[in-house]
Structure 1
């Protein structure tokens, strides 16, 4: 088995991760449900790639994500950092006192479980057995109450998590009685986080999961790079690069819509531009492939044409990004099957295979674009052969649209595609229709790897109500609006077809060029207005010039060749 360890750093990264693990939990539950849809029972997916088995002191078997989550103290809401399974008692402070000065104590009331978390707890305690015998309408009313509660009460990523975590998974940075809004740039992360103080403890968390792996295939990093957590992640990744040099790291650099707010002063604008340049440079130094994720206005993007997103709610936008990450990572745990018309999956590939595919073809490029279509349109129908590809919309900011790149490489995953009359398309039908779509497309990549799965994306109960009224129960698009009612959630939409794609493409040049330009203009050139700020962040000119050179090489690798001139 080839295991994957997931690392989530920062608040928004954990919002995405919470949805991601809810998808996995839903897949596990549907596979065990005797009355469930058969498509979820023969998935040909090895969930052990993402999960570990264990046992409590009471001899109870556990199945928990192979995960390290890092966030500020107080970010877990009502959840204990030791999780809920093992009931480990936190160490008590020593009675030995060496400090004779004044001591101030800061405390806060513990957060109460919301209605959804209370229902999970009661269900596990078997206190609501009688309620489960009630008729369907009563149960539906209860579920709608839970969904309404989530829409109105989510503050923390744990508020909608239905997954149990291992005590080694959840790490809170101590001393985090700080204003989160001040933790908004690379320098604040460096000031608050010292690898010498925290590094060994965080490394032990990762080491715990690595040492029990048979053959680790890679590390899936999700980092909120919009503020100080990019500095925390960069230090962590630097340590990983030293200790696990042969383990490929796939990095998703994510940020929520609120992180793109326009800054009011020129000084803060320069600080934000320098943060983006430094963060991207440092993070990309320690991974094999970096995927920037997060649009300024997801609700206004083409990616949300069938969705109703409230950008002010991280609970909403993170669900879309998590769905895309789930789909992209699905082939990492697909079973390798021979050619057969009855196969439920096709195109299994591991983390390193995808990295080599996207970064090691005609040119060296370690930056990839993430696209998604959710729900994916049906494959059948004359114009849909072409529109299926056209419906893939970017979740990566600052890219060029409809640009032709003869060296482009793509890695695509299609899940639960629908064919004619709403039936689930077979894997072979998906492959044939995608091949046909590429033949009719105006812009084609040099190479595309396709992975396909019969299993659609399940919609768990705590998924937000973001589907438009044209989306049917199984994610079929009904063409016309039915009502002007509220957005649909998990009670109305049980699963959806979804397609996601990573692209190595020169369309990402505007993002890279802006990072390079801002680093030089605000931090390096003579009289740069941000030079002093960067020194306060701990960067000397020599290190900044090395970052500039690295960014220049990234830009050069993707830029079209310049025609030489015979005249001097």
Structure 2
């Protein structure tokens, strides 16, 4: 059944995952004449509620600190019971119960509970990720860690060793993988992999590294994908920025040997295209952008297998990207396709726009001009207008040589939305050229779907080019509002910019790492960078090998 189990570690990742689950919920169809293109069994599990009601809930385990769940309870309307757990205590004497002041549910959550039309969400209305959550979770999915408190000023959960020590302490007492994850794995008939969403630049990176060691020991050949989320650092003090960089460096060094694929996500410090407007101080906004990229890139792992041409799985996509066996870190880019290409060339309208790496933004099948900018792109490769792969890390090493093009080893390109006649024409031309003896570029792997990215009421209005479904709008007998959607492209690639970023990161943080770990982490980062030098001539500026 191709099941994927999700592991959510920390506040940052839970914001992203909430957008992800809300989007999955939007794919459900309830009419007899409607059929969803998504195989819901990949991410959802059937079950029975406390009253015997059939349930369908995400295959996920959610960890967060005390206070991080907001109004979300472990027991919900589907699993609530009237018997208090304290009544089953062996203690026969008097008990004293102390309760904290409950957090008041947001207006959005209240409207969902009462079945009313929810109000429009705002950045000030979203205090926790549970404030915009639309799905029910199984009680086993909710794991609160009471050892630390969210946003504590006395003992913030922000240093690498805190995450390591917390996992070691909890695992010693409970065996976390056996207690929390194994029940979901045992329900799966044919698990295709585990996707881990975690903070990468705080203590959750240390927690995730230890968790991944246990996962790899238990599930040796299972694809393990890690989406590492990072907070915006603009405006933070220098010591806070350095702490986050050290945490990230250690996370990459540790996760590299355990994960099948690592996808770091960070809001670029360069200006976003005019088609995207978000508040970088709002986790709800930033995580929405990350979730759109993740959900679009992995869409093809949950499409129904009737569409075999563009249906895939985590293992196959790992093999496509990690061509030399040492390239576990991949860059991710995205672009909303709301306007004609001629209107997407930057806010000022002059020439081609640049993405975060300084590359000219190109559409599929286009060649990027060589004009002496920092990087170019190989033929057939995509350079999209939002680079979420920490392009700002390139500036950490001021002595780095500039002007060399990045070499792409492999790239998985995706497009979702209505068929683009222009892209279809170029694809046909490429196919005809390939038939006349031109070498087919197998390093470019193209996935397409007519399923656009749905814009639902829990999603912030960060995209300006949202479209409306004409089918819904023209149906006068349909009481539902017109469905909003957005065509989107993504590109997941392994390329030499990873080498440059890892080298720059190593240079910037190695002296800030403790003496006992400095050599180990430094050597591991150097080895990671070296893995992106194999298979090509590092002294050549040519596009092709």
TM over 0.5: yes
Q: What does residue 509 of structure 1 align with?
A: 499
1:404 to partner: Cα distance: 3.6
Relative to 1, partners in 2 of residues 1:552 and 1:390: Cα closer, same or farther, differing over 3 Å? Answer: closer
Distance 2:461 2:433 in 1: 32
Distance 2:341 2:312 in 1: 23
User: Map of 1:322-341 to 2, 5 A cutoff?
Assistant: 322-337=291-306
Q: What does residue 164 of structure 2 align with?
A: 190
Q: What does residue 263 of structure 2 align with?
A: 291
Higher-helix-fraction structure? 1
* Structure 2 residue matching 1:152: 3-state secondary structure: coil
1:379–1:417 CA contact under 8 A, matched in 2? no
1:198 to partner: Cα distance: 5.6
Deviation string 1:133-174 (CA, Å, 9 cap, x unpaired) is xxxxxxxxx55xx11x44431011010011111111111102
Relative to 1, partners in 2 of residues 1:562 and 1:327: Cα closer, same or farther, differing over 3 Å? Answer: closer
Q: What does residue 215 of structure 2 align with?
A: 240
- Residue 473 of structure 1, aligned match among 463, 468, 481: 468
TM-score by length of 2: 0.78
1:67 to partner: Cα distance: 0.5
1:505 to partner: Cα distance: 0.6
Distance 2:162 2:433 in 1: 48
Q: What does residue 63 of structure 2 align with?
A: 70
- Are 1:122 and 2:114 matched, yes or no? yes
Distance 1:110 1:33 in 2: 38
Relative to 1, partners in 2 of residues 1:414 and 1:519: Cα closer, same or farther, differing over 3 Å? Answer: same
1:349 to partner: Cα distance: 1.3
Distance 1:356 1:318 in 2: 27
Q: What does residue 32 of structure 1 align with?
A: 30
Distance 1:108 1:294 in 2: 35
1:474 to partner: Cα distance: 5.2
Aligned length: 479
Relative to 1, partners in 2 of residues 1:323 and 1:271: Cα closer, same or farther, differing over 3 Å? Answer: closer
Q: What does residue 301 of structure 1 align with?
A: 271
Relative to 1, partners in 2 of residues 1:464 and 1:545: Cα closer, same or farther, differing over 3 Å? Answer: same
Deviation string 1:332-380 (CA, Å, 9 cap, x unpaired) is 112334xxxxx6x742111011111111x25631110011112455589
Relative to 1, partners in 2 of residues 1:203 and 1:192: Cα closer, same or farther, differing over 3 Å? Answer: same
* Structure 1 residue matching 2:27: 3-state secondary structure: helix
Deviation string 1:276-316 (CA, Å, 9 cap, x unpaired) is 2212212223211111101254xx534x4312101111111
Distance 1:282 1:362 in 2: 19
Distance 1:429 1:81 in 2: 52
Distance 1:238 1:352 in 2: 19
1:514 to partner: Cα distance: 2.6
User: Map of 1:525-564 to 2, 5 A cutoff?
Assistant: 530-531=514-515, 540-541=516-517, 544-559=518-533, 561=537
Q: What does residue 318 of structure 2 align with?
A: 355
Q: What does residue 485 of structure 2 align with?
A: 495
> Aligned-residue CA RMSD in angstroms?
3.7
Q: What does residue 19 of structure 1 align with?
A: 19
Deviation string 1:468-493 (CA, Å, 9 cap, x unpaired) is 2x544359xxxxxxxxxxxxxx9887
* Structure 1 residue matching 2:519: 3-state secondary structure: helix
Distance 2:192 2:498 in 1: 27
Q: What does residue 47 of structure 1 align with?
A: 40
1:451 to partner: Cα distance: 1.3
Structure 2 residues not aligned, in runs of 5+: 344-361, 367-380, 395-401, 471-479, 541-545
Distance 2:505 2:146 in 1: 32
Deviation string 1:536-556 (CA, Å, 9 cap, x unpaired) is xxxx34xx4333332212111
